[in-house]
Amino acid sequence: MYKHPFYLKSTFLTEGKKICHAFFGRQGGVSQGIYKSLNCGLGSKDNLAAVKENRDRVLHAIGSTENSLATLKQKHSSDAVIVNRLWDYNNRPSADAIVTNEQNIVLGVLTADCAPVLFADSTANIIGAAHAGWKGAKAGIISSILLSMEKLGSKRENIVAAIGPTIAKSSYEVGPEFHNTFVTEDKRNQTYFSPIQSSGKFFFDLPAFICSTLNHLGITKVENIGIDTYNEKKRFFSCRRSTHEGKSDYGRNMSVIAIIDRNPDA
């Protein structure tokens, strides 16, 4: 098995013997330039062969095989889909969360500051993965993925969740219009914002907003990895950082979860 040099795991999601997962960063791939090195975004302008090799490395690192990865055409929505067989990448559904109870289908989401959120019900062997930017989180992507897991037989009290590397509050500066959108909808959302003195702007805490949403929806066992993609330049891709640096594009971090009968550390 290919030994990947760097990925993160959640202690909450390792309880199920058949469920394996990983939050990957930018290390251990073959891409060059601004995409160096583990860019997994086929929607980027990176070399296609390099991206495919990177995605294969992700699969090998968790003990899976080539052509077992299911990803989405992400669009910052509240749409979730259930997968029971693999689809061709060119025909992938437009959604931001994916759920399965099938073995050997690796669920993957791509992020570059947005939050990757992985879900597992090890009692029912049901898993899910969500791409949760502020738009999707506010629109209800967390609720959608939980409902999809329940359709397959999951019980909410058995679901655990982990929030992977995402942009931290101290790096996420937003304007007053952004702030007003949240606070007008619910005054309690003020708790996720901290005003920046003399600028009229705010810092927004996306991971805290997602954690609170999960708790409100009955998911009490939640782990936040707590790593800031913006500040960890050597370890993670960041859309906001690339924009601030004047780059024309950016790499994508991959997060995966699967039900497989293999030990990812073997």
CA distance 224 to 166: 10
Tens digits of per-residue pLDDT, 111-133?
A: 999 999 999 999 999 999 999 99
Rounded to whole angstroms, how far apart are CA atoms 155 and 204? Answer: 31
d(CA 205, CA 192): 5
pTM, 2 dp: 0.95
| Closest CA relative to residue 71, chosen from 63, 161, 146, 54 | 54
Over the stretch 23-44, which tens digit does the pLDDT of each residue have? 999 999 999 999 999 999 999 9
Domain ranges across the chain: 7-168+205-259
80-82 and 97-100 beta bridge pairing: parallel
Tell me the sheet residues that pair with 257. Answer: 21, 107
74 φ, ψ (degrees, to nearest 5) = -75, 140
CA distances from 62 to 174, 194, 261 (A): 36, 39, 11
The residue to which tokens 């990177």 are assigned: 54
108 Cβ contact list (under 8 Å, min separation 6): 40, 55, 58, 69, 70, 71, 129, 254, 255, 256
Q: Is the pLDDT of residue 180 over 70?
A: yes
Picking from 69, 56, 7, the residue whose alpha carbon sits closest to that of residue 225 is 7
Judge contact between 100 and 68, C-beta under 8 A.
no
Q: How confident is the model at residue 1 (pLDDT cuts 50, 70, 90)?
A: very low
For residue range 204-247, list pLDDT tens digits in order.
999 999 999 999 999 999 999 999 999 999 999 999 999 999 99
The four Cα atoms 142, 83, 101, 96 give a dihedral, to 10 degrees, of -20
Which CATH number applies to 7-168+205-259?
A: 3.60.140.10
Work out the pLDDT band at 4, boundaries 50, 70, 90.
Answer: low
Q: What is the DSSP letter of 150?
A: H
Instruction: Give phi and psi for 89, each to the nearest 5.
Output: -55, -35
Q: What is the pLDDT of residue 266?
A: 40
